[in-house]
Amino acid sequence: MKPTHTTPYALLLLIAALALLTPALAPDPHAQDLMASLRAPDALHWLGTDHLGRDNLARLGEGLRTSLGLALASALLAVALGSVLGLLAAARGGWTDRLLSAAADGVAAIPGLLWVLLIAALAPGEKWALYSGLVLTAWVEFFRLLRSHTRSALLGQPVQAARLLGFGFGYIVRWHVLRPIAGVLARLWAYAVAHAVLAIAALGFVSVGVRPPQAELGLMMTEALPYYYEAPWLLATPVVALVLVIGALQTIVGRAADDTPAGVTA
Amino acid sequence: MLGRRLSRLLLQAVFVLLAVGTLCFAMAELLPGDAAYRIAAGRYGYDVVNTEIAEAVRAELGLDRPALVRWAEWLGQVAQGNLGQSMVLGDPVLHLVAYQLGQTVWLSLVAWLMALALGLSLGLWTALRPQGWARRAVDSLNTVLRASPSFLLGVVLTTLLAVELGWFPVAGHEDADHVFLPALTLALALCPGFTQVVRDAALRLLASDAFEFAQVKGLPLRAALWRHALPQILLATLAYAGVQLVLLIEGMVVVETLFAWPGIGHALVHAVIARDVPMIQGTALTMALLFVLLNGAIDLLLHALDPRLADAQAAPASPPTPNTP
C-alpha cells in the first residue's frame, strides 16, 4: 500500500500533539518511584516506567519536546540567517560576497556533527551551545542556495523588466527571487529539521548532548539499553518515535535529501 | 585550475587548524569546575582524589598559568608537529591518534567496501528490473535504513546478530571478525545513497544511445554492462563520495562509541567526556583534516578521470538568459 500525500504531515501533527499533550496526560517526567521501576504498560502508566520508576509516556513527551523544539528553532534561524546572508552576498557582490562565501566554505570544511560536538562541548548540557552548533552548520545550505539562485535571478529579464518599471529591491526580492524557490526552501528546511533531530539524538546517545535528568530520545535509548530484555517497551518507544519523525520528514523532503547534501564542499 | 584548487585546499586546512584550536581552547576555559580534579580523577580513579593529588596534577600540567600563554604554547607545538600529551593517559597524543587513525581507516575501509558491494548490486539489480517486487523491496528497505540513525542500526544489529543469534562478537577489536558488526552498521547507513546513485546512473546509461549501440553491434548484455556501463557508474559513485564522507565520519563518531572500537571517533567522544583538551584537539583535528584531504583528493581524482568536467569549465559560463524573439 502506498502512503498518500498527506500521511507524513498527519503523522507529524500526531507526534507534535502527543508531545504537547503529555504534561496533561502523564505525571512529572522527573518524578522517581523506585518501588515501581520497570513496570509494564498498565492503566496508570500507559507506556510503563523506566529503571528509576519514572513514567515513560511523560519522558517520551519531554524528549519529543526537547528534540523537536530545538530542531525546529535551529532550522528556522538557519533559514533566516542563510537567506539574508545569501541575498546580501548575491546583491552586493565584491568583498561581501567573497568573505561570506569563504565563511561558508570554512564551515563546510568540517563535518556537521563534529562542529555540533565541539560547540556543545563548550558548555555541556546547556541548550544554547547545542542550538548554536546546529545553526552554525545548517545555515550554509540555505546561503548557497539563495546566493546562486539570486545571482542568476538578478541577471534575468523579469528582474530587469521589474527594475525598468520602477519596482524597488524589496518587491523584486519577494516576487522574483524568493517566490520561485519557496518550495525548495521549505523542503530544505524539512531536511535541516530532520538532520538536527538526528544530530541531537546521536549526541544524546553517546552522552555528550542533553544531560540527564532531562529526557531526550537518544539519551532515553542509552538509558533503556541495559534493560531491553526485562523492559523492551522502554527501548521501543523512543526508537519508534525517532524513526517515525525522521521517516515523515524525509518523505516530505522526498528526493531533495539525495541532492542537497549537508555541509559538503562542491 | 589545479593551482587554484590546491590553494583552496590549503586554505581550508589552515582554517580547520585555527577553528578547532580556538574552539578546543575556549572549551577548556569555559567548562565549570576545576580541571585538575577531573584529570586527577581520570588518572587515578574517583575514590583516591584529594586536594594534594589535584595540586600535583595542576603543577605538573601547568594549569595555573594564564590562558593565553597556554594557547600560544600549544599552537607553537602544533606548528612543530607536537600535539602534546593526553591529560588522562599521559601518552603523547600523536602516538595515540596514530594508532586510532589506523583502526578508524581499517574500519571505514571495510565499511566502504561493504557499502560499495551492497549499493552496486542492489542498484544494478533494480535498474535492470525497474518493475517488480525486487525494486519495491529494495525501495522499502532503503526508506527504513534512511530513517534509522546509525546508532539505532548498531543496536538492532547487535541484539539480533550478536546477542540473540551469536554469529558475531558484540565488541572487541583484536580479531578480524570483530570488525564485521561496526562495519556493517556503517555500510547500511551508506547503502541507500549508494543504491540511489548507482541506479540513477545505470538507468540513464541503459537508456543512452551508446549502450544501445553496444548491444546492436552484438555485445552480450554482460559484456556491454562490464565494458560500457560500469566505468560510468563508478564515476558517478565517486562523485557522490564526498556526500558519503560526511555520513561516514559522522557515523564513525557514533558507531565507534557504540561498539567501543578504539578509533578516532571513540577517542573524541571520551576525550570530550573526560575534558582531555589535547586529546580533543588531536582527534578533532585529525578527523577534520582527513575530511578536507579526502574531499580534495576526490575532487582532483574526479577531474583527472572525467575529461568532461575540464571541458565544462573551459567553456565560458554564461548566465541563463531565456531566448525571446
Say whether pLDDT at B153 is over 80: yes
Could you give the CA distance from residue B163 to residue B169 in angstroms, rounded to a whole number? 8
Could you give the CA distance from residue B129 to residue B139 in angstroms, rounded to a whole number? 13
Q: To probe the interface with A, which of B246, B252, B269, B294 has the most A CB atoms within 10 Å?
A: B246
The minimum CA-CA distance between B222 and chain A, rounded to whole Å, is 29
Mean per-residue pLDDT for B160-166? Answer: 74
Amino acid symbol at A152: S
Say whether pLDDT at A85 is over 90: yes
Interface touch A114/B287, C-beta < 8 Å: yes
Q: What do you get for the CA distance between the two ends of chain A, in Å?
A: 38
Interface touch B253/A202, C-beta < 8 Å: yes
Say whether pLDDT at B118 is over 80: yes
Task: Indicate the angle between helix axes A179-205 and A217-224, nearest 10 degrees.
Answer: 30
Taking contacts as CB-CB distances below 8 angstroms, the residues of chain B near A118 are 20, 23-24, 27, 280, 284
- The confidence score (pLDDT) of residue B170 equals 67
Confidence bin at B190 (pLDDT 50/70/90) = confident
* pLDDT, greater one: A238 or A85: A85
Say whether pLDDT at B312 is over 70: no
The minimum CA-CA distance between A246 and chain B, rounded to whole Å, is 5
Choice among B141-155, B159-173, B255-269 with the minimum mean pLDDT: B159-173
Confidence bin at A211 (pLDDT 50/70/90) = confident
Mean per-residue pLDDT for A76-83? Answer: 92
The minimum CA-CA distance between B193 and chain A, rounded to whole Å, is 7
- The confidence score (pLDDT) of residue B318 equals 45
Contact A238, A66 (CB under 8 A): no
Confidence bin at A260 (pLDDT 50/70/90) = very low
Task: Encode pLDDT of A240-255 as tens digits.
Answer: 888 888 888 888 877 4
Say whether pLDDT at B195 is over 80: yes
Q: ipTM value, please give it.
A: 0.76
Mean per-residue pLDDT for A138-148? Answer: 89
Interface touch A110/B31, C-beta < 8 Å: no
- The confidence score (pLDDT) of residue A3 equals 52
Could you give the CA distance from residue B259 to residue B172 in angstroms, rounded to a whole number? 8
Say whether pLDDT at A189 is over 90: no
Task: Indicate the angle between helix axes A179-205 and A56-92, nearest 10 degrees.
Answer: 140
Contact A5, A38 (CB under 8 A): no
Say whether pLDDT at B314 is over 80: no
Confidence bin at A190 (pLDDT 50/70/90) = confident
Cis peptide before A213 (omega within 30 of 0): yes
Taking contacts as CB-CB distances below 8 angstroms, the residues of chain A near B197 are 258
Contact B65, B113 (CB under 8 A): no
Angle at B170 between CA B167 and CA B175, to 5 degrees: 80
**For the purposes of burial, counting CB atoms within 10 Å of the CB of B20, is it exposed (0-12), middle (13-18) or buried (19 or more)?**
buried
Check residue A227 and report its DSSP letter.
G
Coil, strand, or helix at residue B85? Answer: strand
- The confidence score (pLDDT) of residue A257 equals 42
Q: What is the mean pLDDT of chain A?
A: 81
Interface touch A265/B23, C-beta < 8 Å: no
Task: Encode pLDDT of B227-264 as tens digits.
Answer: 777 888 888 888 887 778 888 888 888 888 888 888 88
Could you give the CA distance from residue A94 to residue B245 in angstroms, rounded to a whole number? 32
- The confidence score (pLDDT) of residue A77 equals 93
Q: What do you get for the CA distance between the two ends of chain B, in Å?
A: 37
Mean per-residue pLDDT for B118-127? Answer: 87
Coil, strand, or helix at residue A173? Answer: helix
- Which of A77-81, A224-228, A239-243 is predicted most confidently? A77-81
The minimum CA-CA distance between A28 and chain B, rounded to whole Å, is 27
Which of B24, B27, B147 minimises the CB distance to A247?
B147
- Which of A76-90, A204-218, B146-160, B257-271 is predicted most confidently? A76-90
- The confidence score (pLDDT) of residue A258 equals 42
Amino acid symbol at B263: G
Interface touch B12/A246, C-beta < 8 Å: no
Coil, strand, or helix at residue A213? Answer: coil
- The confidence score (pLDDT) of residue B22 equals 78
Residue B118, all three cell numbers: 551492497
Mean per-residue pLDDT for B50-62? Answer: 81
Beta-carbon neighbour count of residue B293 at 10 Å?
13
Check residue A210 and report its DSSP letter.
S
- The confidence score (pLDDT) of residue A82 equals 92
For B203-240, b/e burial (b = at least 16 CB within 10 A) is eebbeeeebeebeeeebeeeebbeebbeebbebbbbbb
Say whether pLDDT at B317 is over 50: no
Which residues are within 8 A (CB) of B77 and not within 5 positions of it... i.e. 6 or more apart? B83, B84
- The confidence score (pLDDT) of residue A114 equals 86
Say whether pLDDT at B320 is over 50: no
- The confidence score (pLDDT) of residue B319 equals 44
The minimum CA-CA distance between B108 and chain A, rounded to whole Å, is 16
Residue A93, all three cell numbers: 557582490
- The confidence score (pLDDT) of residue A81 equals 93
Mean per-residue pLDDT for B115-133? Answer: 84
- The confidence score (pLDDT) of residue A84 equals 92
Say whether pLDDT at B265 is over 80: yes
Task: Encode pLDDT of B70-107 as tens digits.
Answer: 777 767 777 676 677 777 777 888 888 888 888 888 88
Give the 3-state DSSP-derived string for chain A, with helices as H, strands as E and coil as C.
CCCCCCHHHHHHHHHHHHHHHHHHHCCCCCCCCHHHCCCCCCCCCCCCECCCCCEHHHHHHHHHHHHHHHHHHHHHHHHHHHHHHHHHHHHHCHHHHHHHHHHHHHHHCCCHHHHHHHHHCCCCCCHHHHHHHHHHHHHHHHHHHHHHHHHHHHHCHHHHHHHHCCCCHHHHHHHHHHHHHHHHHHHHHHHHHHHHHHHHHHHHHCCCCCCCCCCCHHHHHHHHHHHCCCCHHHHHHHHHHHHHHHHHHHHHHCCHHHHCCCCCCC
Mean per-residue pLDDT for B195-220? Answer: 84
Nearest residue in B to A251, CA atom: B143
Residue A113, all three cell numbers: 556533527
Nearest residue in B to A160, CA atom: B321
Interface touch B322/A265, C-beta < 8 Å: no
Q: What is the mean pLDDT of chain B?
A: 80
A225: nearest Cα among B167, B45, B170: B170
Which of B12, B269, B295 minimises the CB distance to A206?
B269
Mean per-residue pLDDT for A168-172? Answer: 84
